Amino acid sequence: MAVHTSGQSVAEAAEPGRARGRRRDSAGAPGTFRRGLSTHWYAWTMVAPVVIVIGVIIGYPLVRGVYLSLTDANERNVERSIGVNHLPATYEFVGLDNYADALTGNQFLGTLGWTLVWTVSCVTVTFGLGLALANILNRRIAGRSFYRMMLILPWAVPGFVSVFAWRFLYNEDNGLLNKLLAGGGIDAVPWLNDPTWAKFSVIAVNVWLGVPFMMVALLGGLQSIPGELYEAAEMDGANAWQRFRNITMPGLRSVSTTVVLLSTIWTFNMFPVIFLLTRGGPGEATQILVTQAYKFSFEISPRDFAQSSTWGVLILVLLMVFAAVYQRVLRKQGETW
């Protein structure tokens, strides 16, 4: 009994010490961020300058844009200087009125509809052509290196140069395309002057610019698929379509999901093609969200900075929602992104 009491008293005496030890350990243990910083300090040092610069370049305009979207700021009531006279800002806070006007008006919804058609059409055709060309160039064919170089050429040329070249080709009176049609006895096509043809034309140019990137990315994915899989499938009697469906497409899933996401974001915000080729015309036929936001700030009078900022924020929200849904779908399919 004495021994038991003695052992119990020793255990009770040791318990506060263990508790104090746990408290000291928990208090002295660095947090997750501190541990990560101490472990990867060199990586943080290398990344920090880029993060700071990008944060300043993107963060300030983003915050400023959100703020202006909650006001009635335009060319006539913002802070400005006229000669030696300095005029203070007189715009007022209007809350979510700009968003309500945009989302309930026909202009935003109509432009959004064409933007979605433009994006889906461009991404679908670009992916299809890129995949077809990647499969062709993944085979052992004569002149494969030359073909690869030529197909990458549109990607190497600055985008605005390519767009201006296409604008010359599309010229209704002196363009090369209509001259070729005239040589075959076909009437000239109003490539950029008819709403339907203009939509077709801008999609064609954007596909021309996007196929090289898609082809290179998918070609890299194809070359990472082990050739033994195709050999085994062929020995089992699988035809070309079965090999493509059961080996090629699953093997490209990680690459294709990434390039489709990037291509969607780039196409949704593809300002140069629309602006340099048609400036949103004829009329408003080819106007997408980003070019219309630009028009509010730089082309109409008085320039409507609040409306432009509102459209910019809505574009950002739409892309964020798309990325979140896209990521959720990939997770359900067992993919990581």
Average pLDDT for residues 245-254, to the nearest whole number?
A: 90
For the chain, strand residue ranges (E) read 80-82, 85-87
- Whether 24 has a pLDDT exceeding 80, the answer reads no
HEC letters along 138-177: CCCCCCHHHHHHHHHHHHHCCHHHHHHHHHHHCCCCCCHH
The Cα–Cα gap between 169 and 157 comes to 16
- Mean pLDDT (the chain, rounded): 86
Residues 271, 294 contacting (CB under 8 angstroms): yes
Sign of CA dihedral 117, 123, 128, 129: positive
The 10s digit of each residue's pLDDT in 30-78 is: 577 777 777 878 888 888 888 888 888 888 899 999 999 999 999 988 8
pLDDT in tens, 143-202: 778 887 888 888 888 888 999 999 999 999 889 999 999 999 999 999 999 999 999 999
Do residues 289 and 311 make contact, with C-beta atoms less than 8 angstroms apart?
yes
Domains along the chain with CATH numbers: 105-299 (1.10.3720.10)
Query: Distance (Å, rounded) from C-alpha 315 to C-alpha 309?
Result: 10
d(CA 64, CA 52): 17
Please answer whether residues 215 and 208 qualify as being in contact, where contact means their C-beta atoms are separated by less than 8 angstroms: no
Percent of the chain with pLDDT over 90: 55
- List the structure tokens of 321: 């929602």
**Which residue type occupies 203?**
I
For 81-116, write each residue's pLDDT tens digit.
888 788 888 899 999 999 999 999 899 999 999 999
* Mean pLDDT across 123-141: 92
Which pTM does this prediction carry? 0.81
